[in-house]
Amino acid sequence: MRFCIADSFPKALAKLPAQEQKAVKTTVFDLQMDPTHPSLQFHRIDKSKDLNFWSVRVSRDIRLIIHKTEGSFLICYVDHHDAAYEWAERRRIEVHPTTGAAQIVEVRERVQEILVHRPVDTGPVAVAPEWPLLFARYSDDELLTYGVPQDWLDDVRGATEDTIFDLVAHLPGEAAEALLDLAVGETPERPAIVSPEIANPFEHPDAQRRFRIMEDSDELRRALEYPWDQWAVFLHPSQRQVVGQKFSGPARVSGSAGTGKTVVAIHRAANVLKGDPQARLLLTTFSLPLANALEGKLRLLVGSEKGIVPRVTVLPFRGVANELFTLAFGHHARAASEEQIRGALKSAAAELGVTAFTLRFLASEWLNVVDAWQVADSAAYQEVPRLGRKNRLGVKQRETLWPVFERARAMLAAQGVLTWPMIFGEVTRHFSTVAEKPFSHAIVDEAQDLGVPELRMLAAITPPGADRLFFAGDLGQRIFQEPFSWKTLGVDIRGRSKTLKVNYRTSHQIRQAADRLLPKVVQDVDGIEQDRRGTVSVFNGPEPEVRTFPDIDAETQGVADWIKGLVADGVAPAEIGLFVRSNAELGRARAAVKAAGHTQLELSERLEDPRGRVAIGTMHLAKGLEYKAIAVMACDDDILPLQDRVETVADESELDEVYETERHLFYVACTRARDQLLVAGVTPASEFISDLGRTVSNQGHSATKAGGS
């Protein structure tokens, strides 16, 4: 008999207290071991139109909802007695007549809250506005091919812009996503159509997003022993396709914030480790906190399977270089500080009498060209690409500059230090000549922040060939590195790049506002496009708020009141995050948390216990995190974009790059919010705020005046 778990079960399980969860898990395990055991008390749910629904007693008041047929045993839901029965009475499980996918369908006549034509009460003589119908022109057959259940066809054709989110909340996921795409003028990908006569409806690609077949007791035990996150069990068909796809060379998955790129990377890592007992996998990203998060998620996914964890290394880019440098040369590398590098450049220029170039320009040319590309000599400097840099350098200028860089490099060597690009370069040179690579596969998260030295190293420490290098990233979240050609470095992903379009993390309203910060289509240097159009969020939420204040004290009080309101509405403090542009503004976030009567958790390299505390941090630390509610504070005109970065620009193209990465940072911070977003700043506010396309609420009184009124 097929033993399955529906995605509605872990969602319901997570809402129960820990002790009740433990009892539920024990009952589920007992059901798989022996569903006929006399201690299991089954009761048919007679009021349900689907007579295959049964309840199983867990405790005095907790009931497990089971869908039982001759060939399948499906764990669907759990709750207190009355709520559990009500859930089952409002649903049925069926095979869609067109697509062949198994679906959990809400019974139309039992759904009371859906209002396809919602009247607007504007007074006794006013007429409710006529909303245009979004799907009236689509035939039954067309809507059925998108997975719409038959008894919901009339509601779909009657849906308007005012009611669509009320409607899609009641539909299966593939139907909801398709309708949201159609509503904004996109042509959605149609679900696969598989005849039930020749395929198991629970193994249909769309069914696999909501049903997981438990192959054996070990798989079920692992699922029940660990915290059960949705991403670890149920994948969207587009994610599943990339996870399992075989690529002939390096490949990349992209997509806007919240589309599950990291989920794909982790599942792909697990597949590599399970599929190849000899695999030595590197799972890497740009920072230690994110690497730690990746490791935790991978352990959650693979559980305690023997031989898996010892064969994977999870480190940030620099951590990988550090370990491999020590492995190759027998000692640790000493990394040069920024002060040492600038000091060497300044001393070298003075020593050689080069005064035509500012230290700012020398540092920029060193960072983005000479050191990044590990230029070895004058001839190579004449040929090195200077992509996008608008300060043209002729032959004579390069001849003048090269001795400065050469001398600075010698000064750093005399101090016994190496820059990070030098460390990456040494590792690259060593392992390029070694037949036995340290890793058989590498999977890279947040790949948009790879630099030239890092990418070269990754290519050198893995063997060439199919499925060896896999990247996950979003060009719209690039905040550290200037763009460059991957193809030039031998990492050609053309024809092997996929874009995810379903946003699971961020509400429709927040995603729609944040997407205005970036172009609809982003293109990398090699011409590969990431099309952000057609991305849909799977849930609705409040509109983002944008508020400006006359002074910092007023902003502090405004954000504090916002936090108090959230907590009063049931949002836990640990589900709230405040982000600012830099460390200099962290005091404003601390003050807001204190004024709200809470304590803060400062995000750092080592995350502390978050319980009961509001998280605060810089926008850079926001990457990879998510909260129910986010406030992006201190969005003042001289802070976002950061004035210090603007003033240190040495090249016209760098100014464009500063504005672009500052905009990306703002996008990253805003898209950490799941349900609610507040953007706040002191007048005059950041120019980026207007790009969100939301009305700015000007809080026109200072905190002092407000307090005295």
Q: What is the dihedral of CA 328, 333, 338, 339, to 10 degrees?
A: -150
Q: Which two tokens stand for residue 676?
A: 């609610």
The pLDDT-based confidence of 535 (bands split at 50, 70, 90) is: confident
Confirm if 516 and 693 have CB atoms less than 8 A apart: yes
Q: Where is average pLDDT lowest: 276-290, 527-541, 691-705?
A: 691-705
Q: Where is average pLDDT lowest: 68-82, 182-196, 399-413?
A: 182-196
Q: What is the structure's pLDDT at 653?
A: 59
H helix and E strand count, the chain: 25, 25
Cα 440 from Cα 447, distance rounded (Å)? 19
Q: Which two tokens stand for residue 10?
A: 């872990």
> Strands, DSSP E only, in 354-439?
none
Please, is 277 exposed, middle or buried when counting C-beta atoms within 10 Å of its C-beta (0-12, 13-18, 19+)? exposed
Is the per-residue pLDDT at 654 higher than 80? no
Confirm if 277 and 270 have CB atoms less than 8 A apart: no
Please, is 588 exposed, middle or buried when counting C-beta atoms within 10 Å of its C-beta (0-12, 13-18, 19+)? buried
Instruction: Look at residues 612, 671, 669, 610 and name the one whose alpha carbon lies nearest to residue 639.
Output: 669
Measure the CA angle with vertex 364, ends 360 and 369; round to 5°.
155
Q: What is the structure's pLDDT at 528?
A: 82
Q: What is the structure's pLDDT at 18?
A: 87
Residue 614: how many CA atoms within 13 Å on its side-chain side? 30
φ, ψ of residue 547 to 5 degrees: the values are: -130, 140
Which residue has better confidence, 304 or 19? 19
State pLDDT tens for residues 75-134: 999 999 999 999 999 999 999 999 999 999 999 876 655 554 444 444 444 444 567 899
Cα 113 from Cα 167, distance rounded (Å)? 10
CATH code that applies to domain 2-101+197-223: 3.30.2310.20
Q: Where is average pLDDT lowest: 76-90, 448-462, 479-493?
A: 479-493
Is the per-residue pLDDT at 557 higher than 90? yes
Q: How many CB atoms lie within 10 A of CB 369?
A: 21
Q: What is the mean pLDDT of residues 493-509?
A: 89
Q: What is the mean pLDDT of residues 674-678?
A: 95
CATH code that applies to domain 542-708: 3.40.50.300
Q: Which CATH superfamily includes the segment(s) 235-329+437-524?
A: P-loop containing nucleotide triphosphate hydrolases (3.40.50.300)
Distant-in-sequence, close-in-space partners of 574: CB < 8 Å, separation ≥ 6 = 601, 610, 611, 612, 613, 614, 615
* H-type alpha helices, 415-530: 420-432, 452-460, 508-515
Q: Where is average pLDDT lowest: 439-453, 646-660, 675-689?
A: 646-660
CB burial of 647-663 (b: ≥16 within 10 Å; e: otherwise) equals eebbbebbeebbbbbbb
Give the predicted TM-score (pTM) of the model.
0.81
